[in-house]
Structure 1
Amino acid sequence: MASIGHIAVGMALGRAYSPDPKVARRAAVALTLVSLWPDVDAVGFALGVGYGESLGHRGATHSLLVALAVGLAGYVVAERRGLPAMRTAVFVAVVAMSHALLDTMTYGGGLGCALFWPLSDARFWSPVRFIPIAPIGMRLLSARGLWVMARELVIFLPFWAYALWPRRKPASA
């Protein structure tokens, strides 16, 4: 994916996190970062980590078990900051899991996602695959990369609309 969908999910769930616009904006920023963090594994390309290795692209960082651990970290951070810890943990875990699950819905290349790492290095695809895989690096700016980004924008338009649509102002009494 070109990350447009991941960002849209993070922003939409950030808005859903709280009816308070200020809290929702902060949550949207934090959850957007969580939605992108699994792709930190792309650094492995520069370090010589093979695509299909446990720490390779769509490996350990795309594990549902790791996403639960990220949710637990969200719980700890929220508790220390006086935020609703369980609510935060659930939102963080769902956003982290969404990254891997959305990546399993891509087509056009790759090896799938190691959803159950460290229990298994097996890679999985969704039976439903409708999101085109994005070129990596500067190739994202190629004609194909731009087509992928446009397609992803259309696919995730409902998330973008919800995330960015102005909130109704409460009726004055």
Structure 2
Amino acid sequence: MASVFGHVAVGFTLARLHFREREYWPYWLLASALAFLPDADVIGFKFHVPYASLWGHRGLTHSLLAAAVIALAVTILVRLFTKPGPWRPGFGRLLSLLFLATASHGVLDAMTSGGLGVAFLSPWEQERYFFDFRPIKVSPIGVKNFIGERAWLVLRSELIWVGVPCLLVLLLRTIFTYPATATLRQS
């Protein structure tokens, strides 16, 4: 799996692309959290759930179906519990962000150097996939295993292959949208 850093960076970047204004910061945090949520399946290791099973790590929780269900459920909850107003996002816009953020988890994991792959099509198909391009060092599971040289190798690869691209995308978005936005606000 990729580390928390990588998943949160992608979720945050997607949220900033969807909602640029600072008033949307709660959705930046929500997308960041949902980008990491599929790894909740590691609790299965405590209950001796086999890694390769439907409920194992990188199984159903990493699927596109799970991303869609989670995004829909959270979008409905947000819409139910937030007051209408200028900073309440539209249903479709929020749904697309939360789906992309949650689905990004499997995409990053499929770019790592280890594990069993990602069951993108679960529960219909149990085959697990990796991409041909796998530059991200796999992160060890568990906080106590994420120390020392191994942690540095993982973070360095994620900084190069996730952090820098995220920063570049956000920088380019700022460069190419700021003048038009500034002009509109002045008029």
TM-score by length of 2: 0.81
Query: Paired residue for 2:108, among 102, 108, 133?
Result: 102
SS in 2 for 1:55: coil
Q: Cα distance 1:164–1:11, how it changes in 2: closer, same or farther (>3 A)?
A: farther
Q: State the partner residue of 1:77.
A: 77
Q: Distance in 2 between matches of 1:149 and 1:164?
A: 21
Q: Cα distance 1:21–1:139, how it changes in 2: closer, same or farther (>3 A)?
A: same
Opposite residue 12 of structure 2, the aligned amino acid is M
- Aligned-pair distance for 1:75? 3.2
Moved more, 79-88 or 33-42: 79-88
Unaligned runs of 5+ in 1: none
Q: Distance in 2 between matches of 1:94 and 1:86?
A: 12
SS in 2 for 1:56: coil
- Aligned-pair distance for 1:161? 5.6
Moved more, 140-149 or 27-36: 140-149
Q: Does 1:118 align with 2:119?
A: no
Query: Paired residue for 1:158, among 152, 159, 165?
Result: 165
Q: Does 1:41 align with 2:46?
A: no
Q: Distance in 1 between matches of 2:109 and 2:46?
A: 21
Unaligned runs of 5+ in 2: none
Identical amino acids, percent of aligned pairs: 30
Q: Does 1:147 align with 2:153?
A: yes
Q: Is the 8 A contact 2:137 2:153 kept in 1?
A: no
- Aligned-pair distance for 1:158? 2.8
SS in 2 for 1:106: coil
How many residue pairs get aligned? The number is: 170
- Aligned-pair distance for 1:163? 5.5
Q: State the partner residue of 2:10.
A: 9
Q: Deviations over 1:38-61 (max 9, x none)?
A: 000111111211111111111110
Aligned Cα root-mean-square deviation (Å) = 2.1
Q: Cα distance 1:19–1:145, how it changes in 2: closer, same or farther (>3 A)?
A: closer
Q: Cα distance 1:160–1:44, how it changes in 2: closer, same or farther (>3 A)?
A: farther
- Aligned-pair distance for 1:162? 5.3
Opposite residue 131 of structure 2, the aligned amino acid is S
Q: Cα distance 1:6–1:164, how it changes in 2: closer, same or farther (>3 A)?
A: farther
Q: Deviations over 1:77-119 (max 9, x none)?
A: 2432343111000111111111101111111x21111111110
Larger Rg: 2
